[in-house]
Amino acid sequence: MKIITIVGARPQFIKAAAVHRAIEQHHRRGPSLRESHYKKRLREIWVHTGQHYDILMDKVFFDELQLPKPAYHLGVGSGSHGKQTGLMLERIEVVLEKEKPEAVIVYGDTNSTLAGALAAAKRHIPVAHIEAGLRSHNRNMPEELNRIVTDHLSTFLFCPTDLAVRNLSNEGIRESRSKIVRNVGDVMYDSILYYSKMAEEKSTVIKDLNLYFSTPNSELRTPNYYLATLHRAENTDDPQRLKSILRALDEIGRNHPVVLPLHPRTRKRMEVHFLFSRFVNIKFIEPVSYLDMLALEKNARAILTDSGGVQKEAYWFNIPCLTLREETEWVETIKSGWNQLVGIERKKIVQAVHDLEKKRPFKRGGMIFGEGRASEKIVRILLEWFR
Ligand code: UD1
Ligand code: UDP
């Protein structure tokens, strides 16, 4: 069975890594007696749209996570939504025409996801959407539009939670003879389980950035910093929102350093508005590799972020999270009390950190996003369907 995996942006490399590993494992184990009906081997062909292309947003992940070299690199790069998505669509179509896969896998909610799904659906190739069913209910976000359209075009809707399955049902997308709609768990959880041990062994980022803190009476040196990430278009493209968040992080940074690996989008906006010299308490660093990011997350006092993936990683690592947005598609992390929506107002963010510090230590409830076997389930379902 030939499938095409479409990736293009940083989080997709991390998600696709988990599924790729599950496919490889299936091959290594070989079909067992019980699985003998899985006669077909899954042949995965990677297509990289080129949406992310800086070494630190792209190559670093392929090297570190030992991802397969994409058979096709479409070199689309940056641009307006229409231009970027349109170019992807055109170029993915050529690949689909040549390869004639039995299914196309797309991940998450980026323009690469949308283009992959649309190109495949138009050619009547079944689309498997991994991370289906998420809704922030904010249609001003490009990601929300990408999610909705992709879900409506997909044949396999691999949801990370029950709520995602319910969201789809509310839009009339339900399991049927021609559609799979299942809560399989979250492939990012598979990734974190696999790579966090490796991060512990290999990452030296905390030492390199000198983030240890020692008390005079203690030989113990523990990291003592906040970790922040910031890249949403709604937060970075509006200079007032961007400044408000940076002011808050700067104020928080007076007590403990705030480490902020800078997404290129944010760096560019900060350069345009000459913002770098104004926030001396924020430790701006280049985007970090996945293993370094896991190490930074795991040891932070708290995480402040507008990223989707980072909200969940905070949850999995038991690190309190403040989300710099008005709404989130990862509603379960909020309902569990682990994550808080703090918006972008300076005062509110600073107060939320202050309140968090008073509440230590924290205790989290059960796991929401499956048991770390999402990728394996996805591979089985696909093989079963196409046997
Ligand atoms: C994209 C996704 C977003 C996801 C994020 C993950 C869409 C609409 N958005 O946002 O959902 O959360 O990826 O990180 O698909 N740039 C570089 N080098 C790069 C990549 C981007 O300099 O390697 C700069 C360019 O100026 C570009 C800007 O960042 O215009 C935005 O990049 P783009 O891929 O359009 O969106 P992201 O903000 O990365
Ligand atoms: N990430 C990383 N290095 C960084 C910032 C993020 O490896 O400098 C990882 C992070 O751990 C998570 C994923 O990238 O697994 C999230 O990607 P991003 O925040 O860019 O996108 P989103 O999840 O919001 O779509």
Q: How confident is the model at residue 40 (pLDDT cuts 50, 70, 90)?
A: low
Q: Is the CB of 11 under 6 A from ligand 1?
A: yes
Q: Determine which residue's CA is closest to atom 35 belonging to ligand 1.
A: 78
Contact between residue 268 and residue 287 where contact means Cβ atoms under 8 Å apart: no
Ligand nearest to the Cα of 308, by number: 2
CATH number of 2-186+370-385: 3.40.50.2000
pLDDT number for residue 214: 61
Give exposure, 170-196, as e/b (b: 16+ Cβ within 10 Å). Answer: eeebeeeeeebbbbbbbbbbbbbeebb
Q: How confident is the model at residue 34 (pLDDT cuts 50, 70, 90)?
A: low
The mean per-residue pLDDT over the stretch 104-120 comes to: 98
Q: How confident is the model at residue 181 (pLDDT cuts 50, 70, 90)?
A: very high
The mean per-residue pLDDT over the stretch 31-53 comes to: 78
Q: How confident is the model at residue 173 (pLDDT cuts 50, 70, 90)?
A: very high
pLDDT number for residue 33: 46
Atom nearest to 143 CA in ligand 2: 25
Q: Which of 52, 58, 145 should be mutated for ligand 1, with most atoms under 8 A from CB?
A: 52
Q: Is the CB of 70 under 6 A from ligand 2?
A: no
217: CB partners within 8 A, 6+ apart: none
The mean per-residue pLDDT over the stretch 18-27 comes to: 93
Q: How does pLDDT run across 340-367, given as a tens digit for each residue?
A: 999 999 999 999 999 998 886 666 666 7
Q: Determine which residue's CA is closest to atom 2 belonging to ligand 1.
A: 110
Residue 307 Cα to ligand 2 middle (Å): 7
Atom nearest to 308 CA in ligand 1: 12
pLDDT number for residue 277: 87
pLDDT of 114 over the 80 cut: yes
Maximal C-alpha separation, the chain: 68
The mean per-residue pLDDT over the stretch 59-81 comes to: 98
Q: How confident is the model at residue 27 (pLDDT cuts 50, 70, 90)?
A: confident
pLDDT of 63 over the 90 cut: yes
pLDDT number for residue 368: 87
Q: Is the CB of 11 under 6 A from ligand 2?
A: yes
pLDDT number for residue 221: 67
Residue 62 Cα to ligand 2 middle (Å): 14
Q: How far apart are CA 265 and CA 25, in angstroms?
A: 36
Q: How does pLDDT run across 132-153, given as a tens digit for each residue?
A: 999 999 999 999 999 999 999 9
pLDDT of 222 over the 80 cut: no
pLDDT number for residue 379: 96
pLDDT of 157 over the 80 cut: yes
CATH number for 202-359: choose from 3.40.50.970, 3.30.70.3340, 3.40.50.410, 3.40.50.2000.
3.40.50.2000
Residue 261 Cα to ligand 1 middle (Å): 14
Choose, from 52, 231, 256, 263, the residue flagged as catalytic.
231
CA proximity to 164, closest of 369, 375, 384 = 369
Q: Is the CB of 25 under 6 A from ligand 1?
A: no
Q: Is the CB of 91 under 6 A from ligand 1?
A: no
The mean per-residue pLDDT over the stretch 301-320 comes to: 96
Least confident piece of the model among 27-31, 71-75, 115-119, 174-178: 27-31
pLDDT of 299 over the 70 cut: yes
Atom nearest to 192 CA in ligand 2: 15
Helix (H) or strand (E) holding 260: strand 258-261
Give the CA-trace dihedral at 67, 68, 71, 76, to 10 degrees.
10
Q: Is the CB of 111 under 6 A from ligand 1?
A: yes
pLDDT number for residue 56: 98
Q: Is-catalytic flag, 129?
A: no
Report which of residues 216 and 204 the model is more confident about.
Answer: 204
Q: Is the CB of 78 under 6 A from ligand 1?
A: yes
Q: How far apart are CA 143 and CA 113, in angstroms?
A: 10
Atom nearest to 53 CA in ligand 1: 23
Domain boundaries, the chain: 2-186+370-385, 202-359
Percent of the chain with pLDDT over 90: 86
Q: Is the CB of 329 under 6 A from ligand 1?
A: no
Q: Determine which residue's CA is closest to atom 17 belonging to ligand 2.
A: 11
